C-alpha cells in the first residue's frame, strides 16, 4: 500500500489554525496508518512525506516538518521495534540537514533486523528523479544498452527488492499522483478520498 498524505494545510485552515497544527495532527494519522497496516499483515507501506517540490514551501514550515519528523522517529522507534517493523527512507536524503539524516539513519539501523512490515517513508522524493537515478546506476554498473530491460531498471529503483503497491491511496480529494512512485504504480488500484489526512484512519 502506498499513501499520498494530503490535506494538512486545509485541515488547519478550516479550523482557523496555523498550518503547522495541521502537520502536527497529521502525525496521529501516520501512527494509525503504520500500526494498523502492520496488524493487517500488509507487507510494505510507503508514505509520501516530503516531495522535492516541497522545498518551495516557506522555510519555517519546512523546518517544522523536519522537527516533527525527528520527533516522530524518537517517539515511535520503540513501537516500530516492538511490532517488528523495518524502517527505510526512499528519495534523496543527502539533501536533508545532518541532524535529520542522523535521526533517520538511527531508525533504519535499529530496525534493520526486523522481519515484519516494511515501512518506507518518501523524503525529498520525486518519481521522475527516482527513474533518472536508476538509469544512472545502470550506466555506472556497465550494463550494455541492449541488455537494459524492465527487471534491470527495477533493480536500480529506490524500492528494489520490494513488491509494487497493489493500492495507492490519496487523501483530500485531489485527482493526481504528484510524481509519486511513477514506475511502481503502473498496475496499482487508485483510491481517492475527500478525507483530509489528519482525519484519515485505516
Helices and strands: H and E segment counts in the chain: 6, 6
Residues serving a catalytic function are: 6, 54
Say what the pLDDT of residue 158 is. Answer: 98
Segment 146-155 mean pLDDT: 94
Query: Which has more pLDDT, 145 or 101?
Result: 101
Say what the pLDDT of residue 178 is. Answer: 97
- Count of alpha carbons within 13 angstroms of residue 64, beta-carbon side: 17
**Residues 6+ positions from 14 with CB-CB distance below 8 Å:** none
Segment 14-23 mean pLDDT: 94
Q: Kindly state the percentage of the chain with pLDDT values over 90.
A: 96
Q: Please report which confidence band the pLDDT of residue 196 belongs to, taking 50, 70 and 90 as the band edges.
A: very high
Per DSSP, the residues of 121-145 read EEEEE-HHHHHHHHHHHHHHHT--G
Segment 103-117 mean pLDDT: 97
State whether residue 151 is helix, strand or coil: helix
pLDDT over threshold 90, residue 202: no
Cα separation, 190 vs 201, whole angstroms? 17
Amino acid at each position: 500500500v502506498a499513501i499520498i498524505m494530503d490535506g494538512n494545510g486545509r485541515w488547519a485552515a478550516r479550523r482557523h489554525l496555523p498550518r503547522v497544527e495541521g502537520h502536527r495532527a497529521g502525525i496521529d494519522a501516520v501512527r494509525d496508518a503504520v500500526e494498523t497496516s502492520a496488524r493487517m499483515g500488509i507487507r510494505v507501506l510507503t508514505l509520501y512525506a516530503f516531495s522535492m517540490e516541497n522545498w518551495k514551501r516557506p522555510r519555517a514550515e519546512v523546518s517544522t516538518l523536519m522537527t516533527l519528523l525527528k520527533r516522530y522517529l524518537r517517539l515511535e522507534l520503540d513501537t516500530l521495534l516492538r511490532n517488528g517493523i523495518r524502517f527505510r527512507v526512499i528519495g534523496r536524503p543527502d539533501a536533508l540537514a545532518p541532524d535529520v539524516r542522523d535521526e533517520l539513519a538511527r531508525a533504519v539501523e535499529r530496525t534493520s533486523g526486523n522481519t515484519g512490515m516494511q515501512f518506507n517513508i518518501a523524503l525529498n522524493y520525486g518519481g521522475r528523479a527516482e527513474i533518472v537515478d536508476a538509469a544512472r546506476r545502470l550506466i555506472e554498473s556497465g550494463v550494455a544498452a541492449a541488455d537494459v530491460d524492465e527487471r534491470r531498471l527495477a533493480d536500480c529503483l529506490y524500492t528494489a527488492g520490494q513488491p509494487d503497491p497493489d493500492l495507492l491511496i490519496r487523501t483530500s480529494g485531489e485527482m493526481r499522483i504528484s510524481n509519486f512512485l511513477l514506475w511502481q504504480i503502473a498496475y496499482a488500484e487508485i483510491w481517492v478520498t475527500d478525507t483530509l489526512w489528519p482525519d484519515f484512519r485505516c
